[in-house]
Structure 1
Amino acid sequence: MTAENTSVVVTGALGGAGQWTVERLLADGYDVVGLDQRLPADGGPDGADFFQVDLTDQGETTELVTAFDPDAVVHLAAIPDPTNHAGGRVFSNNILSTYNVLDAAGRAGARVVWASSESAYGFPFAHNLLVPDYLPIDESHPLRPEDPYGVSKVAGEAVAAMTARRYGVPVLSVRPSWVQYPGAYQTTSNREAFDLDELAASPAGSSPSGGAGNFWSYIDVRDLASMFSEALTADVTGHEAYLCHAPENYLGVETSELFDALYDDAPPCPIEGDASAFTTEKAERDLGWTAEHTWREAADADVAGPDFG
């Protein structure tokens, strides 16, 4: 698949990551159709058409996706965490919309790239801090979520695999870390408040605040958008999952020191320096993707991002 004369449907197109992804795909030469719960106030960027839709309604979703007959679908729409909504709403919204979108894409014979999450592993929203089986964490690590958001992503990946089997289309599940926006990195306050001694003194098995839930990982939204773009042309068949993380933690502290302080029974940590606890070697190999932006230069960067939501 090449960008020229290639149509891509993007769901959640007016969200933060959605807008950056739409902008990236337009820059790469794709014809973009954006779907969301509302329409952009100013009509949206040139080259993209937008439609209002309830993705939990299978009829609406199938009608629109099949009418466009896209070459690919990038599914980003979701309630992004379990903290501000009832758990049942988070799960039902996310899994219904994912089923409807992916099934419609499969019926249209479209390649699918969709946003799963690192939360599928169960670390970010666990009541008690979970211990990884091994480090660095890769796509084969067991998925053990305790929260409705993480479970919705595990169920979504099952739908992704079903779609690939049933319709014979490639489906790529991207597992992003905590998404950060240039010039407005939320990781900054965590880093400024971090104290290694306080972490070591926290009760065993507790879930200390300040980013420990995903082991101080992150991804710049521009790198996330670039992975979605790279995934559209990758030579992949069936269903595959890919981690999407920056190459280092956002504390600037050696990762092995963090795990020694965080756990009494930390797994062996062969990670050098402040490299991320999650490895993106699979994405580098299969997609030709690497993250380009780090907190050191991006946290205070003056970048004019898209604003058509």
Structure 2
Amino acid sequence: MSETAVVTGGLGRAGRWVVDAFAERGYETVCVDLDHPGWEISPRENVDFRAADLADAAEAFDLFADLGPDAVAHLAALPAPERHAGNRVFATNTESTYNVLTAAGRAGARVAWASSESAYGFPFAREKTLPDELPITEDHELRPEDPYGLSKVVGEETAARTARRYDVPVVSVRPSWVQHPGDYNCTGNRDDIAAGAGNFWSYVDARDLASLFVAAVEPDAVTGHEAVNGVAAENYMDRPTADVVEEFFGELPADCTLEGEQSALSPAKARRLLDWEPEHTWRDAADADVETPSLYE
């Protein structure tokens, strides 16, 4: 019998790739979002839909009790601190993450959820500062100033608590700036070096992010709670990363081992722990003609 996977935020731009990856892997995949696409829509094979406000505990717990998932990928969130009032961003993200992870833990599910590179505190800081190390590993201190990054730090503490409380594996995935094949917005920043300084000119392809979520919930992938960066192997600036950092900041951190165009956020832990490799780069993906996965027949 195939396993059931729940993907929250599955109708989102990145979420569709994650739903597609789980369905292709053979999971009976339930796409959960605020809205249902409509009863007139016929879902593709291995995909079904549910509408729920996951910040509402009653809806989240009832849904997960009904579905009884084996694996959960939680992507639903307000995705930035600048589009809504800060308290709404923080409350929505922390409450929905608590509800989903707790419901998943009670179901005994393997969990991966979308934290963020914003947890480190650099993308939305008022003043751009150097990290303590380059490349940035998962051991770097988390020091956000904004409500979005803060919600991700609280979410990671919730993830660790879920693993302890329910003895389920939980992976906090820290994606970089998500790019989509044929639509790599990041490459437009090359002439404005300041535009990418907040995440040190890093990115991740949506297809690689999707494969990372699948890898993170494979049986026996991890025990307890782990955080991993979800990032491409190199920057999008087409020149050595250390040169770009030094040009913008005027210096490099004392702990700097960057080589060539190596990403400023390290994917090494995800490689080691999950046997995951970022396969796509801006060189082959920026102008690629690849259709977004359809979740319908």
TM over 0.5: yes
Asked if 2 retains the 8 angstrom alpha-carbon contact of 1:126 and 1:147, the reply is yes
Which of 262, 272, 281 is the equivalent residue of 2:248?
262
Q: CA deviation at 1:265?
A: 4.3
- Please state whether the residue corresponding to 2:137 is helix, strand or coil: coil
- Please state whether the residue corresponding to 1:252 is helix, strand or coil: coil
Instruction: Give the fraction of aligned pairs with identical amino acids, expressed as a percent.
Output: 55
The one-letter code of the counterpart of 2:64 is V
Asked if 2 retains the 8 angstrom alpha-carbon contact of 1:8 and 1:70, the reply is yes
What is the CA RMSD across the aligned residues, in angstroms? 1.3
- Please state whether the residue corresponding to 1:271 is helix, strand or coil: coil
The answer to whether structure 1 residue 155 and structure 2 residue 154 are counterparts is: yes
Q: CA deviation at 1:18?
A: 1.0
Q: CA deviation at 1:188?
A: 2.2
Q: What residue in structure 2 maps to residue 274 of structure 1?
A: 261
1:72-92 alpha-carbon deviations (Å, 9 max, x no partner): 111000011111111111111
Matches of 1:287 and 1:10, distance apart in 2: 19
1:11-37 alpha-carbon deviations (Å, 9 max, x no partner): 111011111111111111111111110
Structure 1: tracts of 5 or more residues without a match: 200-207
List structure 1 segments (4+ residues) > 6 angstroms apart after TM superposition: none
The one-letter code of the counterpart of 1:15 is G
Alignment size in residue pairs: 292
Q: What residue in structure 2 maps to residue 61 of structure 1?
A: 60
Q: Which moved more, 1:232-241 or 1:263-272?
A: 263-272
Which of 5, 14, 21 is the equivalent residue of 2:11?
14
The one-letter code of the counterpart of 1:256 is A
Q: What residue in structure 2 maps to residue 305 of structure 1?
A: 292
Q: CA deviation at 1:46?
A: 2.4
Asked if 1 retains the 8 angstrom alpha-carbon contact of 2:26 and 2:46, the reply is no
Q: What residue in structure 2 maps to residue 218 of structure 1?
A: 203
Q: What residue in structure 1 maps to residue 227 of structure 2?
A: 241
1:171-190 alpha-carbon deviations (Å, 9 max, x no partner): 00000000000001111211
Q: CA deviation at 1:55?
A: 0.4
The one-letter code of the counterpart of 2:6 is V
Q: Which moved more, 1:27-36 or 1:42-51?
A: 42-51
- Please state whether the residue corresponding to 1:16 is helix, strand or coil: coil
Matches of 1:262 and 1:187, distance apart in 2: 17
Tell me the TM-score normalised to structure 1 length. Answer: 0.92
Asked if 1 retains the 8 angstrom alpha-carbon contact of 2:205 and 2:232, the reply is yes
1:255-301 alpha-carbon deviations (Å, 9 max, x no partner): 11112112234203321111101111111011000100000110010
1:164-213 alpha-carbon deviations (Å, 9 max, x no partner): 0000000000000000000011112112x24xxxx5xxxxxxxx3x2111
Asked if 2 retains the 8 angstrom alpha-carbon contact of 1:136 and 1:278, the reply is yes
Q: What residue in structure 1 maps to residue 24 of structure 2?
A: 27
Asked if 2 retains the 8 angstrom alpha-carbon contact of 1:122 and 1:130, the reply is no
Q: CA deviation at 1:102?
A: 0.3
- Please state whether the residue corresponding to 2:23 is helix, strand or coil: helix
- Shift of the 308–7 alpha-carbon distance from structure 1 to 2, 3 Å rule, reads closer
Q: CA deviation at 1:130?
A: 2.2
Structure 2: tracts of 5 or more residues without a match: none
Matches of 2:210 and 2:4, distance apart in 1: 16
The answer to whether structure 1 residue 48 and structure 2 residue 47 are counterparts is: yes
Tell me the TM-score normalised to structure 2 length. Answer: 0.95
